Amino acid sequence: MTLDRIESPKAKKKLSLGVGGAFVELPAERTGWANKTEFILSCIGYAIGIGNVWRFPFFVYRNGRGAFLIAFILMLITMGLPIFFMELCIGQYTGVGPMEAYRRMSPAFGGLGICTLVVIGLVTVYYMVIIAWTLFYTFASFSSKLAWAYCDNGFNTENCYSGLEDKQCQDTNSTTIFFNKTCQLITKVCYNFGYDKGNKSYCFNETHQKPIRKLYDSVLSSEEYFSDYVLGIRGATWDNWGGIRWELLGCLTLAWIICYLCLIRGVQSVGKIVYFTALFPYFVLIALLIRGLTLDGAEYGIKWFITPVWPTLFDAKVWGDAASQIFYSLGIGCGSLITISSFSTFSNNCHRDAIFITFTNLFTSIFAGIVIFSIMGYLAKQMDLPLEDVVKSGPALAFIAYPEAVVRMPLSNLWAILFFFMLFILGLGSQFAGVQAINTAILDVRPSLRKHESLVILVICVCGWILALPMIFDGGVYLNTLMDWNTASWAILLIGLLEVARNWNLFRLTETWGPSKKTSW
C-alpha cells in the first residue's frame, strides 16, 4: 500500500491523496494557518492547559516528587515526543482530519480515527465544565469579600476552619483560636478533648501532643466553598443527583458562547486569538512566581517539589502516571494534533516543531510546578502542617489549596483574579482544538458544509452544552470524574499505542522519516 500526497500545479490547497493507486482530490477551498507562528501558538495553546497547573504538580506530589520528574522526562523523550511528531506528520501529510486520515491510510483502521473523535468529543464535554468552574471563581474573585475565606456563609458547617478568621482571633487575643465558628480560649478547646494545655497549633499533656485541627474533623473554608457551594456535592450520590447549580449553568453557557465566538470563522479566527490565549498565561505565571518567591515558606515548597524520593522509581504506578500525564499534557491520542497540523503547509519542518512544542510543554509544567509549590510551601508554613497534608487531590490544588493561600496574601483579590482567569484562558486554548477537530471531521466527510462552517461549529457547541448539563447538577462531579478517568487516562494511552503499531506496520522506516534515516526518532 502506498500513500502519496502531491501538490497541484493550480493551487496550494488543491491536493491529491493516493491510497493504493487511487487518487482523491481534496477540496480547494480548505483554509490553512496564515503563518507559521499561528500554527506553533495553536499547538502550544492546545498542549498547555489546566492540567499543567494542577494535574502535573499533583502527580509530582503523589509519585515521589523529584523522582516523578525523572520518569516524566524519560517518558516524554521515549513516548511523548515520537508520537507527537508522528501525529504532526499524519496531519501535515494527509491534509485532513483524523477520521479521514486513518481511513485513507488504511480502511481497516478507519475505526481508529473514529475512536479519536469519540475521545476528544467526551473530553470537550467534561473539560468545558472544569472551565466553567474557573469562570465561576474568576467572577467570585471580584467580590470585596472572598467568600471562601470565611466560615460565616450559610453552607458552612460547625467543623469549618478559616485560617483568616483564626488569625483575626489571635490578633485580638493571643490565647484564643477559631473553633466552632467563633473565637474560643485555647485551654478550653484542649480541655474539651482531654488535654491539659495548648498553644495555637497543638494540644498536649504530660505524655501526648496532637495538632488542634486533627482533634476534630476540621474542613477548610475553601474546601467547603468548593464542594458545598460551587459543586453542591453535599448529600448528592449516584442515586440522588440533586438539583441544578444555576450559577454553574450560567458560567457553562458563557464559556460555550465565548468558545463559539472565537471559533466562528474556523482556523482563521483561532489563528488570531491564540496570540493572546497561548502567551497571556506565561505573563501571569511569571507574576505569580515573583510573588511566590517573596512568601515565607517558598524555599521549603520548591525544595520539597524537586527532591526525589528514589525508591518510588521502582514503582510501576509512577511510570504509569508519568505516561498518562504525558499523553494528557501533550494531547496526543485525541486527533486534535492531526487536525491542527492538517492546516499547515505540506513542506513545514514538523521535526523541529515537535521538539520545540514538547519541550516548551515540559518547561511550562516544571515552571508551573515551581509556582504552585512555592505558594503551597507558604500555605504549609502558615497552617503549621507538613506540605503533604496540604494537598489532597488534583482539583483541590487549584480550587482549594490555592484559594486558601491567596486569602493570606496582600491584594488577595488581584492574585485570585489573575490565577483563575489564567486557568480559564489555558482551558479555552485547549478547547479550541477539540471543537475544531470535531468540526474538521464533519467537513471532511461533508465538504459541501464548508460554506456553512459557522453553523456547524454552532451545532457542535450547542450539543456540547447539552451533554454537559448533567455535570452541573449537585452530583455532576461524579460523572465528571468518571469521564476524566475513562478518557484522559487509559483511552488515550491505548489509542496512542494503536497509532504507533499501525503506522509502524504501514510504512517502512525510511518511507516514514525520509532518506536521512534520523536515528533520533
262 and 174 together in one domain:
no
User: For the segment 244-265, what is each residue's pLDDT rounded down to a tens digit?
Assistant: 999 999 999 999 999 999 999 8
Q: 170 and 306 in one domain?
A: no
Note the pLDDT tens digit of each residue in 139-150: 999 998 999 999
The answer to whether the beta carbons of residues 492 and 332 sit under 8 Å apart is yes
User: For 100, what's the count of Cα atoms within 13 Å in the CB-facing half-sphere?
Assistant: 25
Q: Are residues 191 and 335 in the same domain?
A: no
Known binding-site residues for Na(+) equal 45, 47, 52, 329, 361, 426, 430
**Are residues 117 and 40 located together in one domain of the fold?**
yes
Same domain, residue pair 270 and 330:
yes
Residue 7 falls inside a structural domain: no
283 and 183 housed in the same domain? no
Q: Which long-range contacts (CB under 8 A, 24 or more apart) does 29-35 make?
A: 29/450, 30/95, 30/343, 30/443, 30/450, 31/266, 31/267, 31/268, 31/343, 32/267, 32/343, 32/344, 32/345, 33/267, 33/271, 33/343, 33/344, 34/268, 34/271
Cβ–Cβ < 8 Å for 149, 221: yes
Q: What is the domain-level CATH number for residue 297?
A: 1.10.4160.10
Query: Would you say residue 520 lies in a domain?
Result: no
Q: Is the pLDDT of residue 393 over 80?
A: no
Cα dist. 67→237, 255, 371, 392, 489 in Å? 37, 37, 19, 19, 20
Residue of 213, 185, 152 whose CA lies nearest to 177: 185
Residue 338: all three cell numbers together: 492531526
* 470 neighbors 476 (Cβ within 8 angstroms): yes
* Percent of the chain at pLDDT exceeding 70: 90
- Number of domains within the chain: 2
pLDDT reading at 14 higher than 70: no
From CA 69, how far away is CA 252, in angstroms rounded? 34
Tell whether 507 is covered by a domain: yes
Question: Per the domain annotation, does 62 fall within a domain?
Answer: yes
**Residue linked to cell 485570585:** 416
C-alpha distance across the termini of the chain, in Å: 23
Tell me if 329 is assigned to some domain.
yes
Q: Kindly give the pairing relationship between strand 160-161 and strand 219-220.
A: parallel
Q: Please say if the pLDDT value at position 7 is more than 50.
A: no
> Which of 216, 239, 256 is at the close of a domain?
216
Q: Give 95-105 pLDDT, tens digit per residue.
A: 898 988 888 88
Same domain, 211 and 274: no
Region 225-229 average pLDDT: 92
| Close Cβ partners of 261 (under 8 Å, ≥ 6 residues apart) | none
pLDDT in tens, 461-508: 999 999 999 999 998 999 998 888 888 777 888 888 888 877 776 554
What pLDDT does 392 receive? Answer: 64
- The grid coordinates listed for 285 are 505565571
Please tell me whether residues 47 and 135 are part of one structural domain. yes
Residue 305 has pLDDT above 90, yes or no: yes
H or E element, residue 4: strand 3-7
pLDDT of residue 6: 36
Q: Which residues sit opposite 160 in a β-bridge?
A: 219
pLDDT at 30: 67
Which of the listed residues 176, 195, 216 is the one where a domain comes to its end?
216
Same-domain check for residues 125 and 182: no
* Phi, psi angles (nearest 5°) of residue 349: -80, 85
**Residue type, position 153, single letter:** N
Q: Which three cell numbers stand for residue 224?
A: 467547603
- 3-state helix vs strand vs coil in the chain, percent to 5: 70, 5, 25
User: What's the mean pLDDT in 280-308?
Assistant: 92
Question: Which segments are annotated as binding site?
Answer: 45, 47, 52, 329, 361, 426, 430
pLDDT higher than threshold 50 for residue 435: yes
> Between residues 39 and 12, which one has the greater pLDDT?
39
Percentage of residues of the chain with pLDDT beyond 90: 49
Q: Is residue 397 in some structural domain?
A: yes
- Asked if 444 and 311 sit in the same domain, the reply is yes
The answer to whether residue 36 is domain-embedded is yes
Predicted confidence (pLDDT) at residue 26 exceeds the cutoff of 60: no
Enter the DSSP assignment of 334.
Answer: S
Q: Can you tell me the distance from the alpha carbon of 262 to that of 258, in angstroms, rounded to the nearest whole number?
A: 6
pLDDT at 506: 58
Is residue 271 included in any domain, yes or no? yes
pLDDT on residue 515: 45
In a shared domain, residues 233 and 338: yes
**Can you tell me the mean pLDDT for 321-345?**
91
Domain residues for the domain of 304 are: 31-149+227-513
Residues 251, 182, single domain; the answer is no
